[in-house]
Amino acid sequence: MNVTVETLGPCKKLLRVELDAAAVDAAFDSVTKEYQRHAQLPGFRPGKAPRDLIVKSFGPRIEEEVKKKLIPDSYQKALDQEKIRAAVYPDIEEIQFGRGQPLQFAATVETQPEFELPEYKGLHVKRETVVITDADVDKAIGVLREQRTDYKDVARPLVAGDIAVVNYTGTVDGKPITDTAPTARGLTEQKAFWIRCEAGQFIPGFTEQLHGMNAGEKRTVTVDFPADFVSAELVGKKGVYEVELAQVKERVMPEVNDEFAKSFGAESLEKLRAGIHQDLANDRNDKASRAVRDSLIQTLASKVTFDLPESIVLQTTRNVVYSIVQENQQRGIPKEAIEQQKDAIFANANASAKDRVKAMFLLNRIAEKEGVKVEQQEILERVQAMAQQYQMPIQKLIKQIEERNGFGEIHEQILVGKVLDFLQLQANIKEVPASTPAPAA
């Protein structure tokens, strides 16, 4: 087998492969004999049909099978011969193939990056100490109280903290808001709309102008749409709302006592607080561990620079863009607003993708050097856990994973996890006090 290699750029090579005619004919003979052994033709017992008749009857299928065998086998042998690490399966251009002639094809190969592994044992990283205070538990209790909030109609003026049930119509420059922002139908008109009367709710400055209103009262409210408003067409414009207050509802929150605790399945308030404390500790420990792992990857990646395969970066970028768009849509951001930010979204996604791909190659190279493997049993256990999480029959989940070729991704996730476990055991981890969020400006 003759192989020539041409470098097309970073992480890209062109392989030209030629396999002599004798090897091609030997492959044709092997496949033809298999057909001859098993084929059923009228007038002949299995295995007794003449070779010429087999070739005449099954020629195209034999040729396709030979091709499917020879090209991948020859390609892999060429990689091994030239010591090339392919990153993905290549684009193959068939040049010549047939009985009695050499096989010739060209493969454009994206290669794994070449680099020397930096020192990866004993990396220095910090881990924030997890401390759960009574104030943290009180805050969590407050969230639970919100879940049990009741709303009582009251015959008094609206005050901060109440729920205002309003009917409104909005205009900009004397025209319905949808004339300026066609997708903002909810901002143009609503009936029986609930607004919590606290600063920052709904449109900035809106709720404060409702204070003191009584049910049945009408009032004109003006707002300035801020620079970060979700509907870009309204940014910097003044909105005018005609508002009718239909009802005033007082928020009634439950007392924090043993009965409150029992409504969440705890025996007592003391047990509820203890359970919350443990949940908060588990959550923050998980976040601290993830932060350590992220820091290990960042520290490792900062020690080496290398080129990345373009197709893998592009595919990873697409995946990140998809995730960002899905997340924004779930947050209620209109499709048009997302479209306006598409260049920034792609740029951020591309930067994130490059970091991910670089980390993938580093961690896989460490796995190779340290002999880290993923067993089939580990993949099965992961799939079983996923089936329980999704409450889905395992065979149905396996079929879905196979349809999207997802087992490679599961293998990669487990491998990366095991390598990070290894790096974490080897690291120099320094405990530091937890950082406190900066106060709001």
Contact 35, 21 (CB under 8 A): no
With tokens 């870009």, the residue in question is: 232
What are the pLDDT digits (tens) for 192-240? Answer: 999 999 988 899 999 999 999 999 999 999 999 999 888 889 999 999 9
Q: Is residue 336 part of a domain?
A: yes
d(CA 407, CA 169): 53
Judge if 188 and 323 occupy the same domain: no
Domain end marker among 110, 129, 162: 110
Would you place residue 437 in the very low, low, confident or very high pLDDT band (cuts 50, 70, 90)?
low
- Please choose, from the candidates 200, 207, 283, the residue with its C-alpha nearest in 3D space to the C-alpha of residue 245: 207
**Amino acid letter at 266?**
A
Q: Report the percent of the chain where pLDDT is more than 90.
A: 78
For residues 302 and 404, state if they share a domain: yes
- Do 284 and 428 sit in the same domain of this protein? yes
Question: Alpha-carbon distance 337 to 344, whole Å?
Answer: 12
Return the pLDDT at 68: 92
Same domain, 171 and 300: no
Closest to 253 measured CA to CA, from 328, 165, 163: 163
15 belongs to a structural domain? yes
Here the CATH number for the domain that contains residue 400 is 1.10.3120.10
CATH label of the domain that carries residue 16: 3.30.70.1050
- The answer to whether residue 121 sits within a structural domain is no
Instruction: Decide: 272 and 261 in contact? Cβ < 8 Å.
Output: yes
pLDDT for 200 equals 82
In the DSSP assignment, the letter for residue 267 is S
Cβ-Cβ contacts under 8 Å for 249 (sequence gap 6 or more): 151, 152, 153, 154, 162, 163, 164, 165, 194
Same domain, residue pair 230 and 280: no
Q: Which residues pair with 110 in a beta bridge?
A: 12
Q: Please report which confidence band the pLDDT of residue 35 belongs to, taking 50, 70 and 90 as the band edges.
A: confident
Give, to the nearest 10 degrees, the angle between helix 269-301 and helix 407-426.
90
Distance (Å, rounded) from C-alpha 128 to C-alpha 295?
A: 12
Q: What is the CA radius of gyration of the chain?
A: 33
DSSP for residue 45? -
Q: Output the furthest CA–CA distance in the chain (Å, rounded).
A: 101
Structural domain count, the chain: 3
3-state class percentages of the chain: helix first, strand second, coil last, to nearest 5: 50, 20, 30
**Contact in structure between 226 and 235 (CB atoms under 8 Å):** yes
- Please indicate, yes or no, if residue 283 is contained in any of the structural domains: yes
Q: Give the span between the Cα atoms of 201 and 205, in whole angstroms.
A: 8
Residue ending a domain, among 197, 219, 252, is: 252
Same domain, 410 and 291: yes
**DSSP code per residue over 400-431:** HHHHTT-HHHHHHHHHHHHHHHHHHHHSEEEE
**pLDDT at residue 116 above 50?**
yes
In-domain check, residue 51: yes
Does 439 have pLDDT greater than 60? Answer: no
Q: What is the DSSP string of 8-43?
A: EETTEEEEEEEE-HHHHHHHHHHHHHHHHHH---TT
Q: What is the pTM of this model?
A: 0.72
Same-domain check for residues 222 and 246? yes
Percent of the residues in the chain that have a pLDDT greater than 70, as a whole number: 99
* pLDDT for the residue numbered 313: 94
Phi, psi of 123 (to 5 degrees): -65, 140
Q: Which residue matches tokens 């768009």?
A: 325
169 plus 284 within the same structural domain: no
What tokens were used for 397?
């989940």
Please state the rounded mean pLDDT for residues 68-91: 93
Q: Is the pLDDT of residue 365 over 50?
A: yes
pLDDT for 150 equals 93
pLDDT grade for 441, boundaries at 50, 70 and 90: very low
Q: What is the CATH number of the domain that holds 170?
A: 3.10.50.40
Both 233 and 191 in one domain: the answer is yes
- Residue 281 domain flag: yes
Give 83-136 as a DSSP string: T--BSSPPEEEEEE--TTS-EEEEEEEEBPPP-PPPP-SS-EEEEEPP---HHH
Please check the confidence at residue 407 and state whether its pLDDT lies above 50: yes
pLDDT computed for residue 334 by the predictor: 75
**Closest by Cα among 176, 154, 333, 373 to 247:** 154
Find the mean pLDDT for residues 255-276.
Answer: 96
Residue 239: give the domain boundaries.
150-252
Q: Is residue 438 assigned to a domain? A: no
Please state, in angstroms and rounded to a whole number, the distance separating the CA atoms of residues 170 and 239: 7
Domain ends where: 110, 134, 163? 110
pLDDT one-digit tens code per residue, 240-260? 999 999 999 999 999 999 999
Nearest Cα to Cα of residue 256 among 133, 142, 424, 401: 142
Provide the mean pLDDT of the chain. 92
Q: What are phi and psi of 165, to 5 degrees?
A: -100, 110
Q: Residue 440: is its pLDDT beyond 70?
A: no
Q: Is residue 207 located within the same domain as residue 72?
A: no
Q: Give the pLDDT of residue 43.
A: 77
**Where does the pLDDT of residue 285 fall: very low under 50, low under 70, confident under 90, or very high at 90 and above?**
very high
User: Which residues are bridge partners to 250 per DSSP?
Assistant: 152
Could you tell me if 106 and 172 lie in one domain? no
307, 416: one domain: yes
Q: Which tokens sit at 266?
A: 């705890």
- Answer yes or no: is 440 within a domain: no
Give strand pairing partners of 195: 164
| Residue 436: per-residue pLDDT | 62
Which of 363, 348, 352, 350 shows the shortest CA–CA distance to 301? 363
pLDDT, mean of residues 413-438: 89
- For residue 187, CA distances in Å to 20, 222, 294, 343 come to 73, 13, 41, 27
Please check whether residue 18 is in contact with residue 2, taking contact to mean a CB–CB distance below 8 angstroms.
yes
